[in-house]
Amino acid sequence: MKAWARALGFRRALGYNGSMGWTLIGHQWAADLLRGHIRRGAVRHAYLFTGPRGIGRRTLALQFAQALVCENPPEPGEACGRCRACRQMAAEKHPDLHIVRRADDATVVKVAQIRALERRLALAPLAAPYRIALLLNFEEAHPSAANALLKTLEEPPGRVILLLTAESAEALLPTVVSRCEVLRLRPVPVAEVSAALQSRHGLPPEQADLLAHLSGGRPGYALRLHRDPDLLAERDQALHDLLTLLSADRIARFAFAEKAAKDRRTLHRLLTTWLAFWRDVLVLATGAQAALTQVDYRPALEALGASLSPQQALTVLQTLQQALDDLEHHVNARLVAENVMLILPSFPRLAPDT
């Protein structure tokens, strides 16, 4: 199956199904705001959608783009989902849609990509009222690439709309953020995600609740977990390894670190899973009134939360966050992994299958 067809199938699962209206899971306020901009003829030249990955930033941006280019809108601010423009936008194949993202073999969005985008945006739209640029995960842009975009943000060509996504506005240059309408997407209530998984995708309540919790209110990530069993298997292995290491000696821990550090991306995913686990430990250690995400590991979480002080749990959490930051800034992966091994508490009473 072609890559774009697979992508379209996933976006349909998220609610981006080509039907009339905005069909996101959650974020209704954002859809209402964007719909209102179209209806009032007050569309901004640049928007920034922020929030954690899997929250729905790209899906929201594409639904907005579809509403902007629909050839037969049932009413202003809506998309029919059936016209040629709607179908092309859904498939990310519209001639006036230009997507910029980090290449798979690169670590950053490069300035050459922004220069090429600027040349395309200088041309008149081919088929739609606008040329639309979708710049994904723009926190990955090299500083020179971000600066190169500033000219377009400051003096946008007529009939051009820029849609940027990033994990947070703080991760971007303030000069970029100040020239965009910022929409900060927050996690969707777990109950709402679970209900959507059941009603739209036929998941049984127990599975839907688990995935909704594991996603932390990120609908896109919940659906990725549902559609890719390998992700759940990798997550279970990561937590099994963590619980094993809590009762392991330093030699075993450093041997694990050496092995884990051979692939930076795998190590990053491992530490991200551990970070979510230790966030739950901190919740229980402090007695905070916050929902757990790793609910299927509750016995292990409760054992650690009851035995560790809030400061101990916080120290592990902070170390894991720093480790992830270090990996993103190209610090030696083995040193990062070994530092994490040193900070993990010793907890011999906790069996991996607890």
Q: Which is more confident, 239 or 11?
A: 239
* R_g of the chain computed on alpha carbons: 22
* Pick from 277, 167, 162, 176: nearest CA to 218: 167
pLDDT of residue 278: 97
CATH no. for 3-184: 3.40.50.300
Per-residue model confidence as pLDDT tens digits over 64-122: 999 999 999 999 999 998 999 999 998 999 999 999 999 988 889 999 999 999 999 99
Q: Has domain 228-343 been given CATH number 2.60.40.10?
A: no
Residue in the structure block whose two tokens are 């990725």: 224
Count Cβ atoms within 10 A of the Cβ of residue 161 and give its class: 0-12 exposed, 13-18 middle, 19 or more buried.
buried
pLDDT of residue 8: 40
Rounded CA gap, 105 and 107, in Å? 7
User: In which residue ranges of the chain is CATH 1.20.272.10 found?
Assistant: 228-343
Q: Which residues contact 342 (CB under 8 A, 6 or more apart)?
A: 250, 253
pLDDT of residue 104: 87
Q: Per-residue confidence at 321, pLDDT binned at 50, 70, 90?
A: very high
User: In which residue ranges of the chain is CATH 3.40.50.300 found?
Assistant: 3-184
Sheet of 131-135, strand order: 97-100, 131-135, 160-166, 46-50, 181-184
- Ramachandran angles phi, psi of 217, nearest 5°: 85, 20
Q: Per-residue confidence at 21, pLDDT binned at 50, 70, 90?
A: low
Note the pTM of the prediction, 2 decimals: 0.83
Q: Per-residue confidence at 347, pLDDT binned at 50, 70, 90?
A: confident
